[in-house]
Amino acid sequence: MNVVFLSPSYPPEMREYTRGLAEVGANVLGVGDGPPDPRIRPYLADYLQVPRILDEEDVIRRVTAWLRGRSVDRIEGIWEVLTLLAARLRERLGVPGMSVSTVMGFRDKQLMKERVAAAGLRVPIARRVRTASETWAAAEEIGFPLILKPIAGAGSADTYRIESKAELEKILPRMSHVTEASCEEFVDGEEFTFDTVCVEGQPRFVNVAQYLPRPLVARTEEWISPVIVTVRDLKQPKLQKGIELGTGVLQALNMGTGFTHMEWYLKSNGEVVFGEIGCRPGGAHLVDQMNYTCDVDLFREWARAVCWRSFEGRTERRYNVAILFKRALGQGRITRVDGLKEFLARSHPWICTEQLLPVGTHRRDWKQTLLSDGHIILRHPDWDRAVQLAFDGAKNVTMIAGG
* pLDDT of 363 above 80: yes
User: Where does a domain end: 82, 97, 112?
Assistant: 97
CATH number for 317: 3.30.470.20
Residue 37: give its domain's CATH number.
3.40.50.20
pLDDT for the residue numbered 154? 63
247 and 374 fall within a common domain: yes
Q: Are residues 140 and 212 part of one domain?
A: no
- Residue ranges of alpha helices (H) inside 98-236 are 100-107, 109-118, 132-142, 165-171, 215-218
Residue 192 half-sphere exposure toward CB, CA atoms < 13 A: 25
27 shares a domain with 50:
yes
Provide the 3-class DSSP secondary structure of residue 172: helix
Same domain? For 160 and 198 the reply is no
- Phi, psi (rounded to 5 degrees) for 64: -60, -45
Residue 120: inside a domain: no
Q: Give the list of residues 6+ apart from residue 13 with CB closer than 8 angstroms, or none.
A: 281, 283, 285, 287
Residues 233 and 156 in one domain: no
Does 222 lie in the same domain as 77? Answer: no
Q: State the number of CA atoms in the 13 A half-sphere of 349 facing the CB.
A: 5
Specify the number of domains making up the chain. 3
Which of 139, 213, 205, 210 is closest to 175 using CA atoms?
139
Among 97, 114, 133, identify where a domain stops. Answer: 97
Per cent of the chain over pLDDT 70 is 99
DSSP letter, residue 363: P
Verify that 153 and 71 share a domain, yes or no: no
Residue 110 inside a domain? The answer is no
Enumerate the H helices of 214-271 as residue ranges.
215-218, 237-252
- Residues 262, 333, single domain; the answer is yes
| Same domain membership, residue 142 and residue 157 | yes
Please tell me whether the peptide bond between 349 and the residue prior to it is cis, using omega within 30 degrees of 0.
no
The model's pLDDT over 76-128, given as tens digits with 9 standing for 90+, comes to 999 999 999 999 999 999 999 999 999 999 999 899 999 999 999 999 998 99
Q: Tell me: do 197 and 178 sit in the same domain.
A: no
For the chain, what's the residue count?
A: 403
146: containing domain:
125-185
Claim to verify: residue 69 and residue 130 sit in the same structural domain = no
* One domain for residues 198 and 179: no
DSSP secondary-structure letter at 361?
S
Question: Which residues are within 8 A (CB) of 237 and not within 5 positions of it... i.e. 6 or more apart?
Answer: none
Using a cut of 0.85, tell me whether the model's pTM lies above it.
yes
Instruction: Answer yes or no: is 302 within a domain.
Output: yes
64 pLDDT band (50/70/90 cuts)?
A: very high
The helix/strand/coil state of 81 is helix
**CATH (domain of 154):** 3.30.1490.20
